[in-house]
């Protein structure tokens, strides 16, 4: 964050970029905090809400396929601003969903907008990192985690105060839209991306990218599980209060934010693959702790440990992919983002089904074992 502050006068766009990262998660944090209430209001089971998450992941997957092309054809400032406006509109519409299918449709719409914003804002940050010749991407992702923490914490306050969803989420959507209207002029300095040569046929990703995509897929399945299910796990299985149920994701987010803010500093002293290997091991341990400890403080600690472990992995994968093609970083970023949303596509529905047949504790144990497999790939394949 000190790097951003130091260069703020020469590059005024840096602060709007980092705040855009926090906006990306801030709105989702407010929605995540009200998932249990939405689930009960619409009378949804674990598998039903899992299919709603499946809709969001489907939209994110489709959006990721389009993202690189959109970023090449449109001005970066327009892609960032329009996708954030669309995301804020989706958050505003969630409370007015009348059944599972209308909720799924809104989440599909939000998933696509999320992918466009995710790819465009990461490409902008990579461009600024190259221009400054100093690491900033982990800091930007730290702002994403901080936005999620502030979103889920304030969402818990809204829920505890029994403010209706139809008032709460429209307020958040409106605030996000107002911010983008203010920040648009700063995004205009971001340079357009170079266009790729037209591809005549489908080609598998290059080996280096495929390895990063597999690791990214598994890590983002685990991240999505904590994001989507930690609140429900604490609320429905552990029977804690509304406010306490938000602390699992809050602890995860603030730990991830802290890890990412330190990430750019740590990158100066350790090789990226070392950080990836041990980060995954720590994250896997956190998932297993959260799944097996029978008391609330232990579960929240486990999710927090998961946040620390996974905090810098995805930013490192984005950096490594951008280094392979600095003229058009969206190619690698889109590949990793696509792998991630495939994980989100599979993960939510499977976790919901496992949670309904067995329990969410069993599901989180399975994710911990899956994360250990990702660490094995990082150790053996590099």
For 20-38, give the secondary structure using H, E and C.
HHHHHHHHHHHHHHCHHHH
| Residue 2 in domain | no
* DSSP secondary structure letter of residue 1: -
Confidence of residue 191 (pLDDT cuts 50, 70, 90): low
Residue 381 has pLDDT above 90, yes or no: no
What is the spatial distance between Cα 51 and Cα 41, in angstroms, rounded to a whole number? 16
| Residue 161 in domain | yes
**CB 218, CB 366: distance < 8 Å:** no
| Residue 201 in domain | no
What is the spatial distance between Cα 122 and Cα 133, in angstroms, rounded to a whole number? 16
pLDDT attached to residue 325: 66
Q: What is the Cα Rg of the chain in Å? A: 19
Confidence of residue 130 (pLDDT cuts 50, 70, 90): confident
What is the spatial distance between Cα 263 and Cα 139, in angstroms, rounded to a whole number? 7
Across 13-17, 122-126, 215-219, 220-224, the highest mean pLDDT is recorded for: 215-219
Task: Assign residue 325 the CATH number of its domain.
Answer: 1.20.1250.20
Structural domain tally of the chain? Answer: 1
Which residues form the domain of 139?
Answer: 12-189+206-380
| Residue 5 in domain | no
| Residue 325 in domain | yes
| Residue 87 in domain | yes
Confidence of residue 204 (pLDDT cuts 50, 70, 90): low
| Residue 369 in domain | yes
Mean pLDDT value across residues 107-113: 90
- The four Cα atoms 111, 116, 118, 124 give a dihedral, to 10 degrees, of -170
Handedness of CA 95, 98, 104, 108 (dihedral sign): negative
| Residue 198 in domain | no
CB-based contacts of 195, cutoff 8 Å, min separation 6 = 72, 328
**CB 353, CB 50: distance < 8 Å:** yes
Return mean pLDDT, the chain.
82
């Amino acid at each position: 964050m000190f790097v951003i502050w130091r260069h703020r006068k020469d590059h005024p766009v840096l602060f709007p970029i980092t705040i855009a990262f926090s906006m990306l998660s801030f709105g989702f944090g407010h929605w995540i905090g009200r998932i249990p209430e939405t689930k009960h209001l619409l009378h949804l089971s674990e598998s039903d809400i899992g299919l709603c998450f499946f809709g969001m992941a489907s939209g994110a997957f489709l959006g990721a396929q389009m993202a690189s092309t959109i970023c090449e054809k449109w001005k970066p400032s327009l892609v960032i601003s329009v996708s954030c406006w669309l995301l804020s509109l989706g958050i505003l519409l969630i409370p007015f969903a009348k059944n599972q299918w209308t909720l799924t449709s809104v989440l599909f719409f939000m998933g696509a907008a999320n992918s466009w914003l995710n790819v465009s804002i990461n490409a902008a940050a990579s461009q600024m990192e190259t221009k400054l010749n100093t690491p900033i991407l982990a800091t930007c992702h730290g702002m994403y985690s901080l936005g999620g923490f502030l979103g889920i914490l304030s969402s818990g306050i809204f829920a505890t105060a029994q403010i209706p969803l139809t008032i709460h989420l429209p307020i958040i959507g409106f605030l996000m839209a107002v911010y983008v209207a203010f920040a648009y002029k700063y995004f205009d300095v971001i340079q357009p991306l170079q266009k790729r040569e037209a591809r005549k046929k489908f080609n598998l990703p290059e080996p280096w990218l495929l390895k990063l995509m597999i690791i990214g897929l598994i890590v983002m399945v685990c991240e999505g599980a904590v994001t989507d299910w930690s609140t429900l796990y604490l609320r429905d299985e552990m029977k804690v209060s509304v406010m306490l149920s938000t602390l699992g994701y809050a602890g995860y987010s603030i730990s991830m934010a802290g890890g990412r803010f330190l990430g750019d500093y740590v990158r100066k002293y350790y090789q990226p693959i070392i950080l990836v290997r041990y980060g995954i091991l720590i994250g896997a341990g956190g998932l297993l702790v959260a799944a097996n400890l029978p008391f609330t403080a232990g579960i929240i600690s486990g999710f927090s440990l998961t946040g620390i472990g996974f905090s810098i992995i995805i930013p490192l994968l984005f950096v490594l992919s951008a280094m392979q093609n600095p003229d058009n970083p969206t190619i690698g970023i889109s590949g990793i983002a696509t792998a991630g949303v495939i994980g989100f596509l599979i993960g939510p529905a499977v976790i919901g089904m496992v949670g309904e047949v067995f329990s969410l504790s069993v599901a989180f144990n399975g994710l911990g074992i899956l994360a250990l497999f990702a660490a094995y790939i990082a150790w053996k394949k590099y």
